[in-house]
Amino acid sequence: MKTVYIIGSKGIPAKYGGFETFVDKLTENQKNKDIKYFVACMRDNSAKSSITADTFEYNGATCFNIDVPNIGPAKAIAYDIAALRKAIELSKKNKDKQPIFYILACRIGPFISKYKKEIHQMGGQLFVNPDGHEWLREKWSAPVRKYWKISESLMVKYADLLICDSKNIEKYIQNDYQKYSPKTTYIAYGTDLSKSELSSEDNVVREWYNDKNVSENNYYLVVGRFVPENNYESMIREFMKSNSKKDFVLITNVEQNAFYDRLKKETGFDKDDRIKFVGTVYNQELLKYIRENAFAYFHGHEVGGTNPSLLEALSSTKLNLLLDVGFNREVGEDGALYWAKDNLHKIIEESEILSQEDIEQMDLLSTKQVQERFSWEFIVDEYEKLFKYRSKKIKII
């Protein structure tokens, strides 16, 4: 039996978040029963699913709750360290042979060397998912960004294997940290390929569209966190420049958001009736329906690897307009249109004169490549092969 300890997600059952969804789908779609998963969970996340026990079973995985104080940005660091300690303790108690400790994100680099030594003394291996460029996110202050960069370098240095969910991230790791000769592999993020079970006649659908004053196939859509690095400012400014008669629907949470207040003041988007901030949508079937019935989807993410919202859009929305960066190109390929920060208004106007045949062809291309490269079934199979058969001997340091 191969044992895998997963550290770094808030836990499962997943309520939100990319890593949380990944762990949920990895365990839900498990086929190889010779792998046993142990998943660290943040206790306050488990409480959202009315789970209070110290340990519990979910999707066949053994989950263990971790208590962590609410100490601001350092909370995630304290959580990862406590979760890794607990995972090592459990592995010793279980007398695991060649356990794998898979850490999601690079938050605990300054502390990882001693844990790496302990893992190797157990005959185990340390795997790391480097995530995206956390040190570039504008929400962090300069000292925090410096910490993230240092932490990333140390996680790369000490990992036995880095599992990158983006080819561009893998290339970045190999180039920027060449001095460490990092061992990397590429396994993408996955997405749900099923269509919405809702129809236009369902009450929940009609109530949402009527309440938001939006009509099917007559709006551009974006779904995601309202943060500067996702280029909402460019999308809003450029849309306001366009002559489109369609709406721009933004599904995001902007309550008590200083960035939202600044943009409203600087752009005056609240005076443009086409721009509609509609809050969040937690009903996943309704969200699928909204994606499927958008005229087009905007994707402005500039920081990170394979983005979950992009995969969902490529799978379900007919026409996708993506910011032209490597992360998005490698996923969208020929199944999308690409824009720069100063020409999106032109791409919007060009998209509206596309023939229905052209749009259907783009839809077929984007859906096909997601089915072939990003289905959860395919992604889970890649992980199971990696976990089960990568058992090279590790030199104890």
Tell me: do 224 and 368 sit in the same domain: yes
- Domain assignment present for 395: no
Alpha carbon distance 385, 382 (integer Å): 5
Average pLDDT over residues 23-45: 96
Q: Specify whether 68 is located in the same domain as 52.
A: yes
Q: Is residue 243 part of a domain?
A: yes
Asked if residue 167 and residue 111 are part of one domain, the reply reads yes
Residue 91 sits in a domain whose CATH number is 3.40.50.2000
Write out pLDDT tens, residues 153-206. 999 999 999 999 989 899 999 999 999 999 999 999 999 889 999 999 999 999
Has residue 197 been placed in a domain? no
Q: Is the pLDDT of residue 305 over 60?
A: yes
Name the 3-class secondary structure at 163: strand
Q: Is residue 196 part of a domain?
A: no
What span, in angstroms and rounded, lies between the C-alpha atoms of 22 and 64? 17
Q: Does the pLDDT value for residue 397 go beyond 60?
A: no
Averaged over 290-312, what is the pLDDT?
88
Mark whether 176 and 209 lie in a shared domain: no
* Least confident among 10-24, 56-70, 139-153: 139-153
pLDDT tens string 217-260: 999 999 988 988 899 999 999 999 999 999 999 999 887 788 99
- The answer to whether the CB of 220 falls within 8 A of the CB of 295 is yes
- 13 cis-preceded (ω within 30 degrees of 0): yes
pLDDT of residue 132: 65
The answer to whether position 74 is within a domain reads: yes
The two structure tokens encoding residue 133: 């460029």
Residue ranges of E strands in 178-241: 184-186, 219-223
Same domain, 173 and 259: no
Is residue 164 a part of any domain in this protein?
yes
User: What pLDDT sits at residue 14?
Assistant: 86
Q: Does pLDDT of 394 surpass 50? A: no
Query: 279 and 183: one domain?
Result: no
Instruction: Tell me: do 216 and 289 sit in the same domain.
Output: yes
Same domain? 349 vs 210: yes
Count the domains in the chain.
2
Let me know whether 186 and 217 are in one domain. no
CA–CA dist 336, 319 (Å, integer): 7
Residues above pLDDT 70, as percent of the chain:
95
- For 94-146, the pLDDT digits (tens) are 999 999 999 999 999 999 999 999 999 999 999 999 986 565 566 667 777 78
To the nearest whole number, what is the mean pLDDT of the chain?
A: 92
Q: What is the mean pLDDT of residues 10-26?
A: 90
Q: Are residues 221 and 303 in the same domain?
A: yes
The pLDDT confidence band at residue 294, using thresholds 50, 70 and 90, is: very high
Asked if 207 and 274 sit in the same domain, the reply is: yes
CA dihedral 336, 338, 343, 349 (to 10 degrees): -10
Q: How many other C-beta atoms can be found within 10 angstroms of the C-beta atom of residue 384?
A: 19
For residues 11, 326, 365 and 248, what is the CA-based torsion angle, rounded to 10 degrees?
80
Could you tell me if residue 83 is inside a domain?
A: yes
CA angle (330, 10, 322) in 5-degree steps: 25
The answer on 126 and 261 residing in a single domain is no
Provide mean pLDDT across the span 319-324: 97
Question: Looking at the domain assignment, is residue 214 inside a domain?
Answer: yes
The residues, ordered by sequence, that sit 6+ positions from 255 with a Cβ below 8 Å of its Cβ are: none
Beta bridge partners of 7: 103
**Owning domain of residue 262:** 203-373
- The number of angstroms, rounded, from the C-alpha of 64 to the middle of its chain's C-alpha atoms is 23
Are residues 161 and 130 in contact, defined by beta-carbon separation less than 8 angstroms?
Answer: no
